[in-house]
A and B are shown apart, each in its own frame.
Chain A
Amino acid sequence: MAIVNPDFIQDIREFGADDLSACFNCGNCTATCSLSDQYNSFPRKMIRYSILGLEDEIQASVDPWLCYYCGDCSSSCPRQADPGNLMMAVRRYLVASYDWTGLSKKLYTSKVWEIGVIGFISLAVLFLFIFFHGAMPTELTSQGGVQLNTFAPSRIIELVDWSVAGFLSFFLLSNILNMYFKIVRTRKDLKIPFKLYLTEFYQLIVHFLTQRNFSKCDTEKVSFMTKVRNGNYTYWLIHFLLMSSYVILFTMIVGFLGWFQTDIVHPWYFPQRILGYYSTIGLLIGIIYFSALRFKRENEKSKKSHFTDWTFLLLLFLTATTGILVHFFRVNGMPMATYYTYVVHLMVLFPMLIVEVPFSKWSHLAYRPYAIYFSNLINKASELAVVKKSKS
């Protein structure tokens, strides 16, 4: 039994949903979706749940994470109810519902909160620098670089990084645990053998690294080369570029700052520099590509942008450009410029990490592979149950 809640439709609208009331349940969206299958049927189900306000059912669903928003459903909707956009809105709603602090919901539904929190963290970083920054030597190293580690010793920043990482991991992991309880443990009817948890784990890694389900959205029956030429893989490629750049930078900055942030000017072929260049270029290409799509609004998937989509892109863009500037100024021996840019860089980097990673858009990096993992667990377990039943 589920109680119908007519007020929910207003809530989901705040997360960016559109005119879903227009839906007349034809089911074209689900029929046209190439990812919807016998186990996970969407998006119509999510529309129906949203209209009826069945929050428990929505929170127990993995479907929004399985959608890669190709937009086929929205373009084939006879009522312009925009089911694809609804899936994105529900995804935001889910991020908020996994977050037990409630901050995520505030960030998603209120611009004041979003800007306030970002501003607060920025200012905190600024004040920390004002009070605790190191000396600002103007003389250069023997290689002609700036002594950045004197101004901001990587050891100390690294400590801050690690505590931030610990903070982020705590929230993100507890949210994932929350997600696990909502999705898997609500299936009281299913017994999931422990072995499955282990055998299915590789899926999580594969999907995290490749996002290969993007390819399932592509149902065109033409040869691989034609698809390459037609740009069928561009979106996936750039998304991959952006994702990998982000992960590399994140790992280097948060995990190995001592190695990454040095005063030595390494030759270009050193891994720090190669990885750094790859990632910054990857980030920039990604940001420009996705921003352009969102500006042009030609594809179904880029037609509608929630304000949090823009803040994520903006923070990422600022982080990347200030990072490049820091590098440029340091290598070219411009000490004061390096120091100030460095402060600004961290003023965007920290809010970006703290707001986006556990509470907002970035978290889909973690939730999506987990959702696929959970959904596989459930599907395999129900298959086993069916086999068992038929045997007995």
Chain B
Amino acid sequence: MKERIGVYICHCGGNISDYVDVDELSKMFQEEDGVIVSKDVMFTCADSNQKDMVKDIQDHNLDAIVVASCSPKLHLHTFKNVASRAGLNPTNYVQVNIREQCSWPHSDQPREATVKAAGLIRAGINRVSHSESLDNIEISVKKSVLVLGAGVSGMKAAIDLARLGNEVYLVEKDYFVGGRIAQAEKLFMAGEKGTEIISKLFGELKSHNNITLFTGATIEKASGSLGNFHVDVKIKPRYIRGKADPVLVQRAIEECSVFINDEFNFGLSKRKAIYKNYPEAFPDVPVLNPEALRNQQEFISKYASCFDLDQQDEVLSLIVGSVLVTTGFDSYQPKVNEYGYGNIANVLTLPEFNRLVALSPDKLIYNDKPVNKIAFIYCVGNREKKGENKYCSRQCCSAAIYSSLELKEKYQGIKAYHLYRDIRTYGKQEILFEKSSRQGDIYIRFDEKEPPVVEQVGTSLMVKVKDYLTYKKELEVQADIVVLVTGMVAREDSQQISETFKIPIGSDKFFNEIHPKLKPVETVIKGVYIGGACQGPKNISESVQSSLSAVAKINALLKSGTVSIDPVIANINNDLCTWCGKCAEVCEYTAIREIENGDKHIAAVNKAICTGCGICAPICPVNAIEIAQFTDLEIESMIDGFMSKIEIPEQAALTEKNEDGEVLKMKEFPQIWKNIVHSINGDKKTVLQISQELAVDKDIIMYHVMTMHKYSVLVANGMDQKQQYYYYSLKK
């Protein structure tokens, strides 16, 4: 029990004191048991008050403080730091929100607001009186990072992590690095080649000794926690000998007569059974498909010095301090007969179409027929009101429009139709839409309820669509190719990755960050970060931005070699626990395990992994689990505090309603305001003059003068000769 408590109630200028009688409250709590200091303050967050608080804590030997002011989202850390500076454990401080959750929403009922504020503050006092001093948990961490996925985000992240001095293991599932951008011939906006970017990044990767790249590699299993993750990486063989003569390998490729489906080009072409995705692909070692060459014994034995069909999967164990997941996305694969896909030959997805364009240098010919008219259908597999993918993939509009612009430059006589639902070429990409629209691409808008219908008519395609821009008129669009502008979906294997690293998955099936605005690359698993499009649809720059912000977070985390984490974790009451295993079952993070304790088995919490979410607490049949800072005692004492009888003299409550806060209604100004008013006294003075006269730091005077100006206590009255400071005088 804390019995020397300090209570600070904030006026917040008038934001609180206009509606809540803070004056009366501070007097009331002076009488409270255990409260040593109770004050009402104009601005609790002001530097001057922070100094006063530190002084109070030290002078009165306070063991806990309660600050009743604004939402903890704003100043929690401010007052935690005040406590620390005064030598008080920050866990012995409680913030009470009497602005956002009291004075503002109840500005229509000042008396009730005052009563509520009293209840809230009393709850805060009760809570802090049961608070315990807790120290942050310190964990030592390894300065190495596993980066999962060597697409553009992963490569860029690996390079920068390495540059910052971390050991990096870059794991790529494919045999070649680069990911999706390798398949894009040109990238909006500037039109760089995807493959050139990859070559550049690969060059940088190789120049860092502390990056180890694994291709054809997947994560077999992962365990451990922040600072010490144990990861098993499985590497598939290429079936090419490590020391094979590249010239001979090249000759073997030329001689190879077995062709297989070219997955890199979505089956639009065939490739040899010894292949690279594209000629400049990295690493510069081809891959052999043993299934396809099974019957080619002669060929295999001829090049026995190059090939080794006995190569086996290899598993490596790594220990890393942190994990960055940049596994990217899958392109939505249309269902059979969705807009005729799969049934009608000339219906392609945008990625497939882009490959077709990349493979057709001069003339665009598909299925032996020249292609002139192209109809793009947007939002395929995205923004489904009733379907699974409710989100917008946001980069596909730009990608499709950029493709249509590029087509017109590359080939002659191309006509493009865009059948869209909404165009979302946000940011600079709006220029693409502008250009496409002005050069005469035809935009037709349909509604999800009445999607276009693709039909084969003779040798060409007919798309029937109800155009919402033309009074829902039924139009027929003749096209040689229909391109389905497909959105992004979570990778097929993301479920598995989520299970391996315990990363939560959102309803959109992408990985979930903690907070989309404030913790955008952190996951609830400490030490596991996400970057790029595995988190949700992003374009290339956004992907790289997010992976690089994850790099910054990871580096900050690993830099010192130790990590300090919040003490809000689950605590097991060893006396009560009899190990039923229910808590371990519900824990999403496998933070709870069974241990032996004397003669019985009990649960133990891994402090490094526990997030303090509290899911395990209510499930315990014997109530043996409590979350630090949210103990039964603390919560129940808060409830008692809310309901305790509060006596406030009726006449003391403020009854004026003042929604706008135009006029400051203070019983009295804080002392420094009085001093400032006294100093000016009918004259006009600059901040500098007042500061010298009162012998107070000029920044503090500046802060108060500005606030007094805001609340119309002072008015500006011209500038001094050097035009540096305003004169202030009292408002009449």
A and B in contact, CB less than 8 Å: yes
Whether, in the assembled complex, B134 has its beta carbon less than 8 Å from a beta carbon of chain A, the answer is no
Whether, in the assembled complex, A22 has its beta carbon less than 8 Å from a beta carbon of chain B, the answer is yes
**A47-55, A219-227, A309-317: which one contacts chain B?**
A47-55
Q: In the complex where A45-B470, A48-B470 touch, is A1 in contact with B440 (Cβ < 8 A)?
A: no
Residue pair B478, A9 in contact (C-beta under 8 Å):
no
Residue pair A21, B470 in contact (C-beta under 8 Å):
no
Residue pair A2, B440 in contact (C-beta under 8 Å):
no
Rounded to whole angstroms, the CA-CA distance of A24 and B436 in the bound complex is 11
CB neighbours (8 Å) of B440 from chain A are 6, 9, 21
Residue pair B474, A52 in contact (C-beta under 8 Å):
no
Rounded to whole angstroms, the CA-CA distance of A178 and B439 in the bound complex is 34
Rounded to whole angstroms, the CA-CA distance of A45 and B475 in the bound complex is 14
Whether, in the assembled complex, B473 has its beta carbon less than 8 Å from a beta carbon of chain A, the answer is yes
CB neighbours (8 Å) of B675 from chain A are none
Rounded to whole angstroms, the CA-CA distance of A54 and B471 in the bound complex is 13
Residue pair B439, A52 in contact (C-beta under 8 Å):
no
CB neighbours (8 Å) of B415 from chain A are 6
Rounded to whole angstroms, the CA-CA distance of A152 and B415 in the bound complex is 60
Rounded to whole angstroms, the CA-CA distance of A26 and B489 in the bound complex is 32
Residue pair B476, A1 in contact (C-beta under 8 Å):
yes
Given A1-B464, A4-B475, 14 further pairs, Cβ under 8 A: A2-B475, A4-B417, A4-B476, A4-B477, A6-B440, A6-B442, A21-B437, A21-B439, A23-B437, A48-B467, A48-B470, A52-B442, A52-B467, A52-B475
Whether, in the assembled complex, B438 has its beta carbon less than 8 Å from a beta carbon of chain A, the answer is yes
Rounded to whole angstroms, the CA-CA distance of A33 and B641 in the bound complex is 66
Residue of B nearest to A7 (CB): B415
Residue pair B476, A25 in contact (C-beta under 8 Å):
no
Rounded to whole angstroms, the CA-CA distance of A41 and B467 in the bound complex is 17
Chain A-chain B contacts (Cβ-Cβ < 8 Å), number: 53
Whether, in the assembled complex, B469 has its beta carbon less than 8 Å from a beta carbon of chain A, the answer is yes
CB neighbours (8 Å) of A4 from chain B are 417, 442, 444, 475-478
CB neighbours (8 Å) of A24 from chain B are 437
CB neighbours (8 Å) of B467 from chain A are 48, 52
Residue pair B442, A1 in contact (C-beta under 8 Å):
no
Residue pair A52, B437 in contact (C-beta under 8 Å):
no
Point out the residue from B373, B417, B437, B469 that lies within 8 Å of A22, measured CB to CB: B437
Distance to closest chain A CB from B466 (angstroms): 11
Residue pair B469, A25 in contact (C-beta under 8 Å):
yes
Rounded to whole angstroms, the CA-CA distance of A48 and B440 in the bound complex is 12
Rounded to whole angstroms, the CA-CA distance of A45 and B478 in the bound complex is 22
CB neighbours (8 Å) of A23 from chain B are 437
> Which residues of B428-460 have CB atoms within 8 Å of chain A's CB atoms?
437-440, 442-445
Distance to closest chain B CB from A43 (angstroms): 13
> Which residues of B471-523 have CB atoms within 8 Å of chain A's CB atoms?
471, 473-478
Residue pair A49, B470 in contact (C-beta under 8 Å):
yes
Residue of A nearest to B434 (CB): A22
Whether, in the assembled complex, A3 has its beta carbon less than 8 Å from a beta carbon of chain B, the answer is yes
Whether, in the assembled complex, A19 has its beta carbon less than 8 Å from a beta carbon of chain B, the answer is yes
CB neighbours (8 Å) of B474 from chain A are 1-2
Residue of B nearest to A25 (CB): B469
* CB-defined A-B contacts under 8 Å, sample of 24: A1-B474, A1-B475, A1-B476, A2-B473, A2-B474, A2-B475, A3-B476, A3-B477, A4-B417, A4-B442, A4-B475, A4-B476, A6-B417, A6-B440, A6-B442, A9-B440, A25-B445, A25-B469, A45-B471, A49-B470, A52-B475, A54-B470, A54-B475, A57-B473
Which 7 pairs from chain A and chain B are nearest by CB? A48-B470, A3-B476, A6-B415, A21-B440, A25-B469, A4-B477, A1-B474
Interface string of A20-50 (1 = CB under 8 A from B): 0111110000000000000000000100110
Distance to closest chain B CB from A184 (angstroms): 20
Residue pair A52, B476 in contact (C-beta under 8 Å):
no
Rounded to whole angstroms, the CA-CA distance of A6 and B442 in the bound complex is 7
Distance to closest chain B CB from A252 (angstroms): 47
Residue of A nearest to B462 (CB): A3
Distance to closest chain B CB from A52 (angstroms): 7
CB neighbours (8 Å) of A19 from chain B are 438
CB neighbours (8 Å) of B471 from chain A are 45
Rounded to whole angstroms, the CA-CA distance of A21 and B439 in the bound complex is 7
CB neighbours (8 Å) of A45 from chain B are 470-471
Distance to closest chain B CB from A13 (angstroms): 10
Residue of B nearest to A22 (CB): B438
Residue of B nearest to A2 (CB): B475
Distance to closest chain B CB from A359 (angstroms): 29
Q: In the complex where A6-B415, A25-B469 touch, is A51 in contact with B478 (Cβ < 8 A)?
A: no
Residue pair B473, A3 in contact (C-beta under 8 Å):
no
Distance to closest chain B CB from A325 (angstroms): 50
Residue of A nearest to B373 (CB): A6
Rounded to whole angstroms, the CA-CA distance of A45 and B440 in the bound complex is 17
Q: In the complex where A22-B438, A24-B437, A52-B442 touch, is A3 in contact with B470 (Cβ < 8 A)?
A: no
Rounded to whole angstroms, the CA-CA distance of A1 and B471 in the bound complex is 13
Rounded to whole angstroms, the CA-CA distance of A48 and B469 in the bound complex is 7
Interface string of A50-71 (1 = CB under 8 A from B): 0110100100000000000000
Distance to closest chain B CB from A8 (angstroms): 10
Residue of A nearest to B471 (CB): A45
Q: In the complex where A1-B464, A4-B417, A25-B469 touch, is A51 in contact with B442 (Cβ < 8 A)?
A: yes
**Residue among A6, A9, A19, A45 with the highest chain B CB neighbour number at 10 A:** A6
CB neighbours (8 Å) of B442 from chain A are 4, 6, 51-52
Rounded to whole angstroms, the CA-CA distance of A232 and B282 in the bound complex is 74
CB neighbours (8 Å) of A51 from chain B are 442
CB neighbours (8 Å) of B438 from chain A are 19, 21-22
Distance to closest chain B CB from A313 (angstroms): 32
Residue of B nearest to A49 (CB): B470
Distance to closest chain B CB from A81 (angstroms): 10
Residue of A nearest to B468 (CB): A25
**Residue among A4, A9, A23, A48 with the highest chain B CB neighbour number at 10 A:** A4
Rounded to whole angstroms, the CA-CA distance of A125 and B700 in the bound complex is 98
CB neighbours (8 Å) of A22 from chain B are 437-438
Residue pair B478, A52 in contact (C-beta under 8 Å):
no
CB neighbours (8 Å) of B417 from chain A are 4, 6
Distance to closest chain A CB from B124 (angstroms): 54
Interface string of B337-374 (1 = CB under 8 A from A): 00000000000000000000000000000000000010
Rounded to whole angstroms, the CA-CA distance of A52 and B476 in the bound complex is 10
Distance to closest chain A CB from B164 (angstroms): 46
Distance to closest chain A CB from B450 (angstroms): 14
Residue of B nearest to A3 (CB): B476
Rounded to whole angstroms, the CA-CA distance of A120 and B474 in the bound complex is 46
Rounded to whole angstroms, the CA-CA distance of A101 and B471 in the bound complex is 33
Rounded to whole angstroms, the CA-CA distance of A1 and B457 in the bound complex is 15
CB neighbours (8 Å) of A1 from chain B are 464, 474-476
CB neighbours (8 Å) of B373 from chain A are 6
Distance to closest chain B CB from A199 (angstroms): 30
Residue of B nearest to A5 (CB): B478
Residue of A nearest to B476 (CB): A3
Rounded to whole angstroms, the CA-CA distance of A226 and B110 in the bound complex is 57
Interface string of A118-136 (1 = CB under 8 A from B): 0000000000000000000
Residue of A nearest to B465 (CB): A4
Rounded to whole angstroms, the CA-CA distance of A29 and B440 in the bound complex is 20
Rounded to whole angstroms, the CA-CA distance of A54 and B417 in the bound complex is 15
CB neighbours (8 Å) of A25 from chain B are 443, 445, 469
> Which residues of B370-417 have CB atoms within 8 Å of chain A's CB atoms?
373, 415, 417
Residue pair B476, A2 in contact (C-beta under 8 Å):
yes
Distance to closest chain A CB from B302 (angstroms): 57
CB neighbours (8 Å) of B470 from chain A are 45, 48-49, 52, 54
Distance to closest chain A CB from B672 (angstroms): 53
Rounded to whole angstroms, the CA-CA distance of A48 and B468 in the bound complex is 11
Residue pair B437, A3 in contact (C-beta under 8 Å):
no
CB neighbours (8 Å) of B473 from chain A are 2, 54, 57
CB neighbours (8 Å) of A54 from chain B are 470, 473, 475
CB neighbours (8 Å) of A2 from chain B are 473-476
Rounded to whole angstroms, the CA-CA distance of A49 and B470 in the bound complex is 8
Rounded to whole angstroms, the CA-CA distance of A2 and B475 in the bound complex is 5
